[in-house]
Amino acid sequence: MPIVVLKYGGSSLATPELFKSVARQVIRTKEAGEDPVVVVSAMGDTTDHFLQMASQITDKPHARELDMLLSVGERISIALLALAINAEGPYEAISLTGSQVGIITDTNHTQAKILEVRCGRIHQVLQKGQIPIVAGFQGVSTEKEITTLGRGGSDTTAVALAAALGAEQCRIMKDVDGVYTADPRHVPVARVIDRLDYDQMLEFSATGSQVLAADAVSLARQHGVEIAVGLAASGAVGTIVTAGDFTGGGVRGLVALRSLAALRLRQPQDLMQVLADLRESGLPIRGLHSEASRPLLLLDSDQMALEALLASDGWNAKVNPYRRLYARISAIGSSLEPGGKHFARLLGLIQKQGCTPRWFCCSPLRVSFCVRDDEVQDLLVRLHEGLVVS
């Protein structure tokens, strides 16, 4: 039977009833003539809960011990889902950790990269007619230490397994039914995109869309793994990510990152130290630009670690925070290079809205720019209405 990899996120496994629902979906996949290999994340907010517990003990947890702690969440999920499938019958499921499956990583704790997937154990399980339930987000390093893959690591696990197994498809099941042309919470007329190529999906992920992890998309492109994104509650697939060009040019979708703090450095030579401080604090950098010949950083404003850095004497002397918050809008598609008709139309719509765009970043696949955070809602609706192709 053809192998398919099914991945379920934490929100799909938050309660016993949801475990039973996922179990029934997996069984239906088996009954339909496919061999499912299931990858799961930790339940609900388990990972965040563990991180919070660690922070209450120490503000500088050892990375190795963090990996040991965080890997527990997925082990809970695989055991519970295997129990649910076995209770439902008639098939037998078996739970497997990342190390038992043979997911070999480098030695970089909390942000490990997969080096190799040894599939012998999974093939043995499939040959017995069993359903393997694999812990996402984790592996074992070349030094035989438990490692985790960072945020979105379960997506990466699923794609890596699909590539190693030669799976027909990797289905990432979410609490949304696909990749949308914009966030439907802010743009009510947004719709699901039926097909995207790898490069466009990578731009969605890299600019702030949380549907698929960027590392997983990059790995899928490298190995030619077709990804299907669907709704966990029903099992229905909405978006296919694969090779090919699915548009003649124009904008496929919009991604907005809200409430960004802009920090301009007082001296360019402080940039390396500021970047090192941010890396040590675990703060993601959303953008690096230049203004008035000085580096300018965009960061999430709602991070306690950022507030602590800004309150420190060392940082007060290095950075000048802007008073207002900004939002970054990214238009993603093809043929969007400056000077083209699609770029010109984008600028025209922004001007008609009366907004002043700042800090452009452009390529044929993407145009990103910032506006004041209080301007983004109405501008998103106008841009979606005037730009997004079907």
How would you classify residue 370: left for phi > 0, otherwise alpha for psi between -120 and 50, otherwise beta?
beta
Q: Give pLDDT, residue 390.
A: 59
Q: Give pLDDT, residue 384.
A: 95
Cα–Cα distances in angstroms (integers) from residue 197 to residues 95, 109, 156, 187, 245, in the given order: 33, 31, 17, 23, 6
CATH class of the domain whose range is 3-242? alpha beta
Q: Give pLDDT, residue 133.
A: 98
Q: For the whole model, what pTM was predicted? A: 0.90
Residue pair 153/137 in contact by the 8 Å Cβ criterion:
yes
CA distance 102 to 42: 19
Each of the 390 residues of the chain gets a pLDDT tens digit; together they read 899 999 999 899 999 999 999 999 999 999 999 999 999 999 988 988 998 999 899 988 999 999 999 999 999 999 999 999 999 989 999 999 999 999 999 999 999 999 999 999 999 999 999 999 999 999 999 999 999 998 889 999 999 999 999 999 999 999 888 999 999 999 999 999 999 999 999 999 999 898 999 999 999 999 999 999 999 988 899 999 999 877 778 999 999 999 999 999 988 998 998 898 888 887 888 999 988 889 999 998 877 778 888 888 788 788 888 989 999 999 999 999 998 999 999 999 999 999 999 999 999 999 999 999 999 999 999 999 999 975
Residue pair 252/332 in contact by the 8 Å Cβ criterion:
yes
Q: How would you classify the pairing of strands 250-265 and 326-334?
A: antiparallel
CA distance 169 to 147: 26
CATH class of the domain whose range is 250-387? alpha beta
CA distance 127 to 199: 36
CA distance 384 to 252: 9
Q: Give pLDDT, residue 233.
A: 87
Domains of the chain, by residue range, sit at: 3-242, 250-387
Q: Give pLDDT, residue 365.
A: 93
| Angle (deg, nearest 10), helices 341-353 and 376-387 | 140
For residue 25, give the nearest of 219, 194, 233 by alpha carbon. Answer: 233
